[in-house]
Structure 1
């Protein structure tokens, strides 16, 4: 199972050095390491009885794979190490990054106690999106 989540190329994972907020990086790393969603607890996002926050349930509950049009781990493996040149690929990355960031924040809201959640600042520009558009 874990082998399927590995990057196709041996090297540094772009999540470690591409620009993003510390909260986004933390959520992505915890997702990749299997620490998010964490210990299964009742899901407050859906009305299903006995639904627990397992990885498979949150994928289905939030329909994240459908919203990304791919698996989360596949998207993370496609993150570029340099800003892309193609405007179509920039748009692809931007739209999926917004969906992924929103999903991980909502998931963290369900899985962590309310006092441990840091609400993203809506006035904060998103460093990843600025980075992908930095090359003309």
Structure 2
């Protein structure tokens, strides 16, 4: 993981992303950023191919991250999901700070390189 990806993952896990203070969504001015609103606003369930019955899809996937290098067959889905997850956290970080995010450069490539070796 790059430093910025690690920072976003840690801030999500600590509850600091989207942020502790109520702040209006730049897309929906009558809604404040919250985890639940972020899931709807950024279409997280759809983008991660997860059912809506999973309450927190980002934490759900972070809990599934391998602690040790898995077999190639067990790591196959991460090649699809990890770049999407990194992009969602990247967008959320920028949107919460009222900025349009630049396209992320090779999101999640370090983890994917580790999994493919």
The secondary structure found in structure 2 opposite 1:100 is: helix
Structure 2: gaps (5+ residues): none
Over alpha carbons, which structure has the higher Rg? Answer: 1
Structure 1: gaps (5+ residues): 1-19
Distance 1:52 1:118, change over 3 A: closer
For 1:33 and 1:125, locate their aligned partners in 2 and report how far apart those are by CA, in whole Å: 20
The secondary structure found in structure 1 opposite 2:76 is: helix
TM-score by length of 1: 0.70
Distance 1:92 1:125, change over 3 A: closer
TM-score by length of 2: 0.80
For 2:65 and 2:107, locate their aligned partners in 1 and report how far apart those are by CA, in whole Å: 22
Do residues 131 (structure 1) and 114 (structure 2) align? Answer: yes
Distance 1:33 1:50, change over 3 A: same
Residue 47 of structure 2 corresponds to 67
Distance 1:56 1:129, change over 3 A: same
For 1:124 and 1:99, locate their aligned partners in 2 and report how far apart those are by CA, in whole Å: 8
CA RMSD in angstroms comes to: 2.5
For 1:98-113, list aligned pairs within 5 A.
98-112=83-97
Q: Deviations over 1:30-77 (max 9, x none)?
A: 000000000221212x3x340211111001111212322151111111
- The Cα shift of 1:83 comes to 1.8
> Where do 4+ consecutive residues of structure 1 move more than 3 Å?
117-121
Do residues 36 (structure 1) and 7 (structure 2) align? Answer: no
